Amino acid sequence: MEKKIASSRVLVSLYSRIYHEVVHNEIKLAAITASDRVLNIGCGGIPFTALLIAKFTGARVWAVDNDQNAVNVARKCIAAQNMDNLISVLNYDGRDPFPYDFDVALVALQAEPKQEILDSLIAKGGNEARLVFRSPRSEVAHQYDRLPSRPLFNRRIDQKQATFDCSVLYANL
């Protein structure tokens, strides 16, 4: 089903509406602008976060996933949306050092292990990077890897999603 949706401009646009508020909140939280280079870890087959960040801000985005099948579908999705000029999709594990410089990283709820991902992002992005993680709701927290406990995140913004209730920002670490 994801493959069929991914190749349809209309279906992706309709389906992405549930993420508009989430992504707007994360753009505000991380102060993302068109001049930022954004890394989206755990993009999945339909990279809603990457698509919406590029659409709303004009920022350059790398959408990455460690599942090659998801990457293949995501590439078709990006092409169908005519967003190849702003979004590149790569097969990559968030624990590994990212090969390009970035200003902001957004980490999907499903991405894990979060502490190792955070450590890798800090090592590459340094103190200037703004790192956003989605925090699971308490009733489903057992299904997801926990947010890193150190360093402490700087700010949070509430979200109205079934699986996560806020996004948190690690910055100036």
Assess whether pLDDT exceeds 90 at residue 134: yes
Burial of 157 (0-12, 13-18, 19+ CB in 10 A): middle
CA 104 to chain centre: 10
CATH number at residue 63: 3.40.50.150
Residue ranges in 94-133 assigned as alpha helix (H): 114-125
pLDDT class for 5, splitting at 50, 70, 90?
confident
How many structural domains comprise the chain?
A: 1
Residue 18, pLDDT score: 81
Distance CA 78, CA 71 (A): 10
Dihedral pair phi/psi, residue 95, rounded to 5°: -80, -20
Contact indicator for 12, 51 with CB cutoff of 8 Å: yes
CA 105 to chain centre: 7
DSSP class of 126: G
Residue 159, pLDDT score: 96
CA-CA-CA-CA torsion sign (165, 41, 112, 12):
positive
Residue 173, pLDDT score: 56
What mean pLDDT is predicted for residues 107-118? 95
Q: Give SS3 for 138.
A: helix
Residue 164, pLDDT score: 95
Residue 151, pLDDT score: 84
pLDDT class for 16, splitting at 50, 70, 90?
confident
Of 31, 12, 49, 20, nearest to 134 by C-alpha is 49
Residue 20, pLDDT score: 92
Pick the more confident residue, 97 or 53. Answer: 53
Task: Let me know how long the chain is.
Answer: 173
Residue 94, pLDDT score: 94
Residue pLDDT, tens place only, 46-85:
999 999 999 999 999 999 999 999 999 999 999 999 999 9
Full residue range of the structural domain in which residue 22 is found: 2-171
